[in-house]
């Protein structure tokens, strides 16, 4: 006789006896509860709002306390939020993990199978930040989309200028800069005189007035001017929307600041002066410092905008990950550990669509050209194992620093590329001395006077130094 507490599986222990599950669909949701809780344990519900409230009421009448659902597109979001508002504990399950659990799904609905797995504790919920961070993340992602739309119309303006044979991009580095936008607005306003257009040159522009004047002699066809006019209007429209989104972002960060407790020390001096391109219009660095109590921009590679994006994706409380290793593993930045028979088969990192991981990789790419310890680390690895793996390894180091700063309030202090290179040299030298001692030898440095250049045997024209 089987134990009823295990649902017919005597070898498994039921962890969530009041568990339920939903098979998410675009037009219909299949929900399942324990067979003993209802005469019809599997029911279909619509996707309208009133249907979702009825689903929550049915769950509560059946004594359900925890609900599992797969992350299907964006269809799960309304159901997740409404069920959570009704006081139910909802977990979002990666479909890959549910499919990898052994078991047959024949003659059993997906919802019933998910409920069984959830009742045995075999499903692990995906990370979803708290409501305030989810709001901040929504505004941040909306701003990124608006920025992409505006960038598309920059290309449209450039195309219209090229069709008019106005070579503006050859004399200014950015057509959306001060000089470029003044000239474009004057052209849309009806100005055609190259000399009058060149007079809009900003004093910081490196090109001369004569060069700008020569580049602005073009073919003023009406259809091209019309395309330029509409592209400029759309570009301005999206920037108005971005400004409105910035106000919402500032309010969302301000709400987090009001929730933070304790007096903070004065904000440290900025590591990098100047404003980043396409950065929010408010002081992001000061706002994040008021929320976290630490300056994330002290971490090499993280500017205010990128730090805000990371906080919006990961939240201000990283206790969902016990250690920095768990955090980097969630980001798919940690090496794999595929072992069989005591032999490491593969250490390749898993593929990931995480926005946070993409941001950290971007930071690692930019830091590779800097005179910092992380920059030296990136250059050393890229010369040995390639740039792609070096980016991943450097991104992991930045992720660890971000975790320690947000979770533990640690402040990162960069020692510089020279200090890193010297520390690496000492480590290599220590390893060589240890290996020499195991072979019965002892290394000794060659005196400075005895060091001499010699021609490399592999390349007669190359001079190398040995000591």
Cα 134 from Cα 112, distance rounded (Å): 30
**Taking the mean position of all CA atoms in its chain, how far away is CA 33?**
37
CA angle 51-55-61, nearest 5°? 140
Scan for tokens 């390893």, then name that residue.
Answer: 431
Which three-class secondary structure string do you get for the chain?
Answer: CCCHHHCCCCCCCCCCCCEEEEECCCCEEEEECCHHHCCCCEEEEECCHHHHHHHHHHHHHCCCCEEEEECCCCCHHHHHHHHHHCCCEEEEECHHHHHHCCCCCCCCCHHHHHHHHHHCCCCCECCCCCHHHHHHHHHHHHHHHHHHHHHHHHHHHHHHHHHCCCCHHHCCCCCCCHHHHHHHHHHHCCCCCHHHHHCCCCCCCCCCHHHHHHHCCCCCCHHHHHHHHHHHHHHHHHHHHHHHHHHHHHHHHHHHHHHCCCCCCCCCCCCCCCCCCCCCCCCHHHHHHHHHCCCHHHCCCCCHHHHHHHHHHHCCCCCCCCCHHHHHHHCCCCCCCEEECCEEEECCCCCCCCHHHHHHHHHHHHHCCCCCHHHHHHHHHHHHHCHHHHHHHHHHHHHHHHHHHHHHCCCCCCCCHHHHHHHHHHHHHHHHHHHHHHCCCCCCCCCHHHCCEEECCCCCCCEEECC
Beta-carbon count within 10 A of 338 CB:
11
Q: Which of 27, 67, 23 is nearest to 46 (CA)?
A: 27
Scan for tokens 């005469």, then name that residue.
Answer: 39
Question: Top-level CATH class of 4-119?
Answer: alpha beta
Helix orientation angle between 49-61 and 76-85, rounded to the nearest 10 degrees: 50
Residues paired with 42 in a beta bridge: 32
What is the dihedral sign for C-alpha 434, 437, 441, 443? positive
Which three-class secondary structure string do you get for 235-247?
Answer: HHHHHHHHHHHHH
Ramachandran angles phi, psi of 198, nearest 5° = -65, -20
Cα 385 from Cα 349, distance rounded (Å): 14
Cα 132 from Cα 136, distance rounded (Å): 6
- Residues 268-310: pLDDT tens digits? 888 777 777 888 989 899 899 888 888 898 898 898 999 999 9
- Nearby residues of 465 by Cβ (< 8 Å), 6 or more positions away: 451, 453
- Nearby residues of 154 by Cβ (< 8 Å), 6 or more positions away: 175, 176, 235
Token pair for 138: 């929504």
Q: Which of 302, 396, 313, 301 is nearest to 347 (CA)?
A: 396
**The predicted structure's pLDDT at residue 434:** 92
- Residues 6-45: pLDDT tens digits? 445 556 778 888 999 998 888 999 999 998 888 889 999 9
Cα 70 from Cα 56, distance rounded (Å): 17
Give the number of C-alpha atoms closer than 13 A to the C-alpha of residue 70, restricted to the C-beta side.
Answer: 21
> In the chain, which residues have pLDDT < 50?
1-2, 4-7, 106-107, 456-467
Token pair for 78: 């309304």
Greatest Cα-to-Cα distance within the chain, rounded to the nearest angstrom: 96
Cα 276 from Cα 285, distance rounded (Å): 12
**The predicted structure's pLDDT at residue 466:** 42
């Amino acid at each position: 006789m089987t134990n009823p507490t295990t649902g017919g599986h005597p070898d498994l222990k039921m962890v969530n006896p009041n568990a339920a599950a939903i098979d998410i669909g675009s037009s219909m949701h299949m929900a399942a509860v324990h067979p003993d809780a209802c005469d019809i344990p599997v029911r279909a519900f619509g996707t309208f709002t009133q249907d979702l409230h009825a689903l929550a009421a049915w769950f509560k009448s059946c004594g359900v306390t925890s609900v599992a659902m797969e992350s299907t597109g964006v269809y799960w979001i309304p159901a997740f939020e409404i069920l959570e508002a009704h006081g139910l504990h909802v977990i979002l399950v990666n479909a890959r993990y549910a499919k990898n659990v052994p078991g047959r799904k024949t003659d059993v609905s997906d919802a019933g199978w998910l409920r069984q797995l959830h009742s045995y504790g075999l499903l692990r919920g995906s990370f979803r930040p708290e409501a305030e961070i989810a709001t901040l993340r929504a505004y941040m992602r909306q701003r990124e989309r608006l920025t992409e739309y505006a960038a598309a119309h920059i290309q449209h303006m450039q195309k219209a200028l090229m069709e008019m044979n106005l070579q503006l991009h050859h004399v200014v580095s950015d057509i959306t800069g001060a000089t470029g936008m003044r000239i474009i607005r004057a052209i849309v306003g009806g100005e055609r005189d190259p000399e009058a257009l060149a007079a809009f040159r900003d004093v910081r522009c490196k090109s001369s007035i004569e060069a700008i004047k020569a580049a602005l002699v073009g073919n003023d066809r009406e259809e091209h001017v019309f395309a330029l006019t509409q592209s400029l209007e759309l570009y301005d429209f999206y920037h108005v929307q971005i400004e409105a989104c910035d106000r919402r972002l500032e309010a969302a960060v301000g709400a987090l600041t009001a929730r933070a407790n304790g007096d903070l020390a004065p904000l440290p001096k900025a590591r990098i002066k100047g404003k980043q391109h396409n950065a929010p219009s408010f002081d992001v660095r000061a706002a994040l410092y008021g929320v976290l109590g630490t300056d994330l921009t002290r971490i090499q590679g993280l500017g205010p905008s990128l730090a805000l994006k990371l906080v919006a994706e990961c939240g201000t409380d990283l206790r969902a990950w016990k250690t920095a290793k768990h955090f980097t593993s969630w980001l798919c930045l940690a090496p794999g550990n595929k072992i069989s028979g005591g032999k490491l088969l593969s250490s390749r990192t898993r593929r990931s669509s995480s926005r946070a991981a993409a941001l950290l990789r971007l930071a690692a790419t930019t830091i590779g050209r800097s005179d910092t310890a992380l920059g030296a680390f990136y250059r050393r690895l890229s010369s040995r194992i390639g740039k792609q793996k070096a980016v991943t390894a450097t991104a992991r180091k930045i992720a660890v620093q971000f975790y320690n700063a947000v979770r533990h309030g640690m402040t990162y202090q960069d020692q510089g590329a020279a200090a890193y290179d010297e520390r690496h040299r000492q480590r290599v030298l220590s390893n060589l001395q240890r290996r020499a001692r195991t072979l019965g030898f002892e290394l000794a440095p060659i005196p400075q006077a005895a060091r001499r250049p010699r021609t490399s045997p592999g390349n007669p024209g190359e001079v190398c130094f040995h000591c």
